[in-house]
Amino acid sequence: MYTLIRTVSVRRLLLNQAPAIGGAILIAERFYKFHSFTLEALAFLATWFMLDLITAPIVNRLGREAVRNAR
């Protein structure tokens, strides 16, 4: 985690991860009631990973289009 935050700018990290982490938080709060912090934390991280896997191409494409339109 430290290496990730150190190598990627905070702005870029927030822009790329906001949709995935926001969705993961909402899903975890609504559906994960395992009565175990460890299980809920692992399920949250797995959900974040899967949502990031799904949303990354969309976020990247929107970012490239925004750069093209700014020129």
The residue ranges of every structural domain in the chain are: 37-66
Q: Please give the pLDDT value at position 12.
A: 81
For a pLDDT cut of 90, what percent of the chain falls above it? Answer: 49
- pTM: predicted TM-score of the whole model, two decimal places: 0.78
On average, the pLDDT of the chain sits at 88
Question: Other C-beta atoms within 10 Å of 48: how many?
Answer: 19
Alpha-helix residue ranges (DSSP H) falling in the chain = 2-7, 10-31, 37-70
* Residue 67 confidence class, pLDDT cut points 50, 70, 90: low
